[in-house]
Amino acid sequence: MRPVGSITRGTTNPNRLRRVDRWIAGELGRALRGAADPLVVDLGFGASPVTTVELFRRLHAVRRDVEVVGLEIDPDRVRQAVALVPATPGLSFAHGGFELGPLGGRRPVLVRAFNVLRQYDEAAARTAWDRVAAALAPGGALVEGTCDEPGRVATWVRVAAAGPQSLTFGAHLPSLGTPARFAERLPKALIHRNVAGEPVHELLRAMTAAWDASAPHGVFGPRQRWLATVEKVATEWPVDVAGARRRVGELTVPWESVDPRGHQP
Ligand SMILES: C[S@@+](CC[C@H](N)C(=O)[O-])C[C@H]1O[C@@H](n2cnc3c(N)ncnc32)[C@H](O)[C@@H]1O
């Protein structure tokens, strides 16, 4: 089968995806440890295979027999990756797209697709979610998101077979400046919805207002300011404040709280 999708810019950077990988290891580590087949896909690894190699190393620490397959729709990038990366048991690269063809029907417990859907239109991005999520193993997840070039500002959506579950914001707090910066790094499903009347717009406004109101906490450092921000936002939004993840500069809300108005599932 011909790979489904289109070749887009291959921009990537070493360590760019460390935030989402740390979240994956923490939040999805249990699913990976319990998976009958510990198969993971990095969909759209880009012009260099570096972030796939990093994902493999991070997940190998969670489960020694993890198998990571880097898929890319550009066959030249696959050839380069194969030539560049020393043969490593459990790590491979193949030519494929949203159909996950090279897996031959095996069901991955995790698919990470980062900075892949930005070049698609919103409807195509939703179709890609549905297609990939339908191919997951039971309890598996697609983690789809976007970040800036060095990976200091990122957002991602956890998508299960039943549909999108959560939206997470993650940032390097000392350089964040303002949560308004997340606006330009929203996933494709939300980036055009950052307009008055849409829930994600209201959430970003609430985060920015809470950050401004928490400025006095900044004397104790950006982490204290962020923690105060998350607590303020949680008075109006269903934010998970019990978890430890906010300490590393994250904020997660259930998808239903940001699902665009008028969206037809
Ligand atoms: C901007 S790069 C992202 C690289 C890396 N994931 C990162 O975040 O740094 C996007 C890559 O996704 C690839 N791509 C786009 N659509 C795809 C699809 N349907 N299946 C596989 N790869 C795809 C593009 O060819 C491109 O190399």
**Interval 152-199: pLDDT, tens:** 999 999 999 999 999 999 999 999 999 999 999 999 999 999 999 999
Using most ligand atoms within 8 A of CB, pick from 4, 6, 8 the residue to mutate for ligand 1: 8
Q: pLDDT below 50 — which residues of the chain?
A: none
Q: Ligand 1 in contact with 8 (CB < 6 A)?
A: yes
Q: Is the CB of 127 under 6 A from ligand 1?
A: no
- For ligand 1, the distance from its centroid to the CA atom of residue 87, given in whole angstroms, is 22
Residue pair 11/46 in contact by the 8 Å Cβ criterion: yes
pTM score above 0.85: yes
Does ligand 1 have an atom closer than 6 angstroms to the CB of 183?
no
Q: What is the pLDDT of residue 263?
A: 62
Task: Please give the pLDDT value at position 253.
Answer: 96
Question: d(Cα 94, Cα 1) in Å, to the nearest integer?
Answer: 13
CA–CA–CA angle 7, 168, 160 (5° rounding) = 70
Q: What is the mean pLDDT of the chain?
A: 96
Is the C-beta atom of 73 inside 6 A of ligand 1? yes
pLDDT on residue 20: 98
Distance 185 CA to ligand 1 centre (A): 16
Give the model's pLDDT for residue 264: 52
Å from CA of 74 to ligand 1 middle: 8
pLDDT (0 to 100) of residue 74 = 98
The closest residue, in CA terms, to atom 12 on ligand 1 is: 44
pLDDT of 18 reads 97
101 lines ligand 1 (CB under 6 A): no
Instruction: Report the first-to-last Cα separation within the chain, whole angstroms.
Output: 27
Ligand 1 near 51 CB (within 6 A): yes
For ligand 1, whether the C-beta of 9 sits within 6 Å is: yes
For ligand 1, atom 19, name the residue with the nearest CA: 5
Instruction: Please tell me if the CB atom of residue 5 comes closer than 6 angstroms to any atom of ligand 1.
Output: yes
pLDDT of residue 5: 94
Closest CA to 167 of 193, 197, 145, 192: 145
Ligand 1: atom nearest CA of 112 is 6
At position 135, the amino acid (one-letter code) is A
- Check if 235 has its Cβ closer than 6 Å to any atom of ligand 1: no
Contact 90, 56 (CB under 8 A): yes
What is the atom index within ligand 1 of the atom nearest the CA of 77?
27
3-state helix, strand, coil split of the chain in percent (to 5) is: 40, 20, 40
